[in-house]
Every structure is written in structure tokens, then in C-alpha cells.
Amino acid sequence: MAIVKVLCCVKSEELEKAVDKGPTFGCRHVQMIMYFLLMTYTYCMRTVLSVAIVAMNDHNTSSNPDVPTYKWSNQSVVLSAFFWGYVVLQLPAAQLGKKFGAKWLLVCCITVDSIACLLIPVCAAYFGATGVMVCRFFQGLSQGCIYPLLHTLLGYWAPPCERSVIGTFSYAGSVFGNILSLPVTGFICSSWVGWPASFYLFGALGLKWAILWIIFGADRPGCHKSITLYEKMYIETSLGHEKHKVHRTPWKAILTSSPFWAVTFAFMGANWGSSVLLTQTPTYLNKILKYDIKSNSLLSAAPYVMMWMCSLTFSPICDMLINRKIVSRGAARKIFNSIGTLFPAISLAFVGFISQEQAGVAVTLLILTGGLSAGGFCGFQVNHMDLSPNHSGILMGLSNGSTSVFSIISPLIVQYIVTDQTNQSMWRTIFITAAGVYAVTDIFYIIFGSGEVQPWNEVKDEGEDEEGNKVANA
């Protein structure tokens, strides 16, 4: 009898230890890898056209004369069609994901995205630029759902003490997708198979992910078929999700929350800055500094490579600072958000004053800027889950959906201000404006941001007690 008591005591201690720390590698890490691959493939399908459209309109790019080419005068409109659909379904997807689960919605989204990608060569042949725009619209429509659905999943799977690593690694797939798609698409377009093969490749990878997700994906730990009791208890206890419940969305509390608006402003700064950094600087380097960055696909991918490397470096440091209580969770988010915004702001401001003789310095600054902007992954990008694990998908849908419009507005402002692309003073206005937006949004985030779970995370319905259980009417 005494031996049984000792064994029970030992087992209880082991369980408590496991629940406290969790397994070193478990189902949550498999989910994390699946999220990483999801972001990788979706960003490959998002960016493939930006490279392939050059080959689609130039018969000299491929060694195969039978590869079809066109003469589209509205290439910029074709490229922008993706964002027409991107902003539409973010909030509805978040609400549906919270109510019904994100797993099968993601299957639908990635399937639509992949099929639309596969159909682009056919639609281009039969319907021209209009057909491609329709495909891109549906790609944007489906990819607009992915961020809020992924955030909903992370709200169930990412324990607070691992949130920076799991969240950052998941979203780093978007950066890796750019690293992969730029050189691979360039190589395919210039090869004998021609540009259509690039759409077939990435569309097929998207469908492959959907099959893997059906097998390995789960809405939450309690739905996973092979998760251990230890890991399930570790995740759910740390998040307070021992009892699964679909919480009513506290719209008024969210929309009047200063920490939520701090995250949203940070999103705005990041979208504005990245739009200038990643879409306008190649033109600036070419027209002002006479440096053709687009001619070298590896150099074009260099800022993304640096960003990916920095994201994998910053995230464990951020979690270490939080877990060892060196700084508070909110302070850690603000520190890394500032790294990801203030340094790029300074860099962009300097780039506007660099002369043609120092083009190499400008390229170096832009690569470093791309790397340091990864600090935002540990800052505003995962901050929704800190504020409200129960409504993180809704918060992401509101923030990302409302601020994605700045990715559309920013190029229009550049087109309005820079009437002469060889005039450096006009470009300087663009860079200083972007630097100012970066700085202002970060200051707002520093003042009003928070790393604490907000009171509106759990809203009790009428007839519920303090534990959220239904009680009989008096």
C-alpha cells in the first residue's frame, strides 16, 4: 500500500512538472510547422505573379518560343486585383472561425487559392488580363481569411510562455515564401518550361498542404486525436481553456479599447512602411541610384532572407525576457516593435539622402531594414493573443483588414507625389513620410499598448455564474 502511495505521489509530481513546462516537442509544434508551411505556400502564390507578369509580356524571357506571351498595358491593375478581394472577408472569417472552428475553413480557403492559381495560365490564354484579374481577386478573397483564422488557431495552441516563438515561426512562413518564390519563379520563367509552370508548381503545393492539414490539423488541443494528456493540460491550463466555450464577441469593448487601437495603429505603420520598402525602393534604386536591383533575383530576396533570419533570432530572445521576468510581456512587445519600426524609419530617412556614388550603402541599409523589421513579429503581430486569446482572430481581422487598405493607398500616394521618377527630392518626401508614419505609430503603441489579458476577453452571458456555468433563474 505504501509503495502504491509513493508511485501515485511520483506520478502526480511528474504530471505537475509536465503541465508546468510541457513536452519539448509535441503536437503544438507540429501545428506550428503546418502554419509555417501554410504561410509559405500562400505567399508563394501571392507573389508569383509579380515576377511572372514580366515573362507573360516579354517573349524574350523564355528559351521556348512556344510559351505564350501577351501585351497588357494594365499590368499594375492586374497586380492590384489581389487586394480587391483581400480586405473583404477578414472579419467574417474570424467570426466563423471562432464559432465553427478554423480547420475546415482553412481547407476551403487554401483550396480556392490553389485552384485560382492553377487556372491563371488558362484564364490568361482565353480571357486575357481580365481573366487573370478574376483569378487574383479570388486568391485575395481566400487569402484574406487566412490571417484571422490562423490567429484563432494560435489563440488555442500557443501557450503564453511560448507565444513569441510559435507565433513568429508561423508567420515567418510569409517571409520564407517570398524568399522561395522570387528566385524559383525567375528561374522557371527563363527556362524552357516557361512562366505557366510556376503557377502550376505553387498551386499544386497549396493543394498538397490542404491534404496534410486534413490529416494533421486540429482546431484546438481537445480536438487532436493523438495529443498526450500532459501536453493538452499544459496548453489549456496556461490559456485558461480547460472548458471550451464560444465566447460572445464584445464589439463595443474591443472598439473602445486603447490596447486594441495601439495594435491597429502598429499594423498601419507596418503596412505603410513595408509597402514603401518592398515595392517602391527597387524603382528608386534603379531611377535615382542607377542600381538595377531587379536584375538579380537573389539580391531582391536578400531583405527577406535577413528578415527571416532575424525573426528566428528575435522570437526566442523575446520569450526568454518574458519568462525570466526580466521585463514584462507588454514591455517586451514594445521593445521589439520599436526595433521593427524605429530602425526602419531611420534607415528610410537616410536612404532618401544617399547619392548615386553610395548606392552600395543604400542597398546595405535596405537589407538591414528588412531584417530589423522582423521585430514586429514579436511585437504587434502576436499582441492580439496577449490581449484576448478568446477573440484573437476577431482582433486580427479588424486590425489587418482595416489597415490593409494602406497597402493600396501608399502606391497611389507615391504615384501622385513622384511625378518624375528621376527627381530625388520627390522620392525623399516619400521616404521621410514613411519614416514619420513608422515613428508616430510606434509612439502610439508604446503609450497605449499592453501585454495583459483584457477584462473583455471573457464576457459572461445572462444567467451565468462567475465560472461561466449556466444557473437557474431565481
pLDDT tens for each residue of 382-438 = 899 899 988 988 998 899 888 877 777 776 787 788 888 788 888 888 888 888 999
**Are 366 and 384 found together in one domain?**
yes
User: Quick one: CA torsion of 36, 39, 41, 45, rounded to 10 degrees?
Assistant: -170
Domain, as residue range, for 251: 247-456
Q: What is the CATH number of the domain that holds 159?
A: 1.20.1250.20
Q: Are 241 and 335 in a shared domain?
A: no
In a domain, 465, yes or no: no
CB atoms near residue 5 (< 10 Å) = 9
> Within this chain, do residues 238 and 261 fall inside the same structural domain, yes or no?
no
Instruction: Tell whether 220 and 286 lie within a shared domain.
Output: no
In a domain, 14, yes or no: no
In a domain, 314, yes or no: yes
Ranked by mean pLDDT, the top range of 1-10, 233-242, 318-327, 346-355 is 318-327
What single-letter amino acid sits at 421? Q
Phi, psi of 63 (to 5 degrees): -80, -5
Mark which of 185, 213, 245 sits at the end of a domain: 245
Q: Are residues 375 and 401 in the same domain?
A: yes
Find the range with the poorest average confidence among 226-235, 343-352, 367-376, 461-470: 461-470
Higher pLDDT, 51 or 198: 198
Does 17 reside within a domain?
no
| Residues 169 and 229 occupy one common structural domain | yes
Q: Is residue 66 part of a domain?
A: yes
The enclosing H or E element of 291 equals none
pLDDT of residue 202: 97
* Per-residue pLDDT tens over the stretch 234-251: 998 888 765 666 778 899
> Are 363 and 285 in contact, with CB atoms under 8 Å apart?
yes
Range with lowest mean pLDDT among 122-131, 426-435, 441-450: 426-435
Closest CA to 185 of 364, 193, 283: 193
Alpha helix (H) residue ranges in 57-161: 75-86, 90-100, 103-143, 146-157
Q: Which pTM was predicted?
A: 0.81
Same domain, 239 and 251: no
Residue 367 lies in a domain: yes
Q: What is the mean pLDDT of the chain?
A: 84
**89 and 223 share a domain?**
yes
Cell numbers that stand for 365 in this block: 541599409
Task: Indicate whether 35 and 181 sit together in one domain.
Answer: yes
Do residue 240 and residue 255 come from a single domain?
no
Tens of pLDDT, residue by residue over 179-192, are: 888 888 888 888 88
Q: What percentage of residues in the chain have a pLDDT greater than 70? A: 86
Given a cut of 70, is residue 293 above it in pLDDT? no
Q: Are residues 239 and 299 in the same domain?
A: no
Positive or negative torsion for Cα 366, 170, 403, 202: positive
For residues 445 and 356, membership in a common domain is answered with yes
Q: How many domains does the chain have?
A: 2
The span from the CA of 458 to the CA of 389, in Å, is: 9
Indicate whether 64 pLDDT > 60. yes
pLDDT at 238: 86
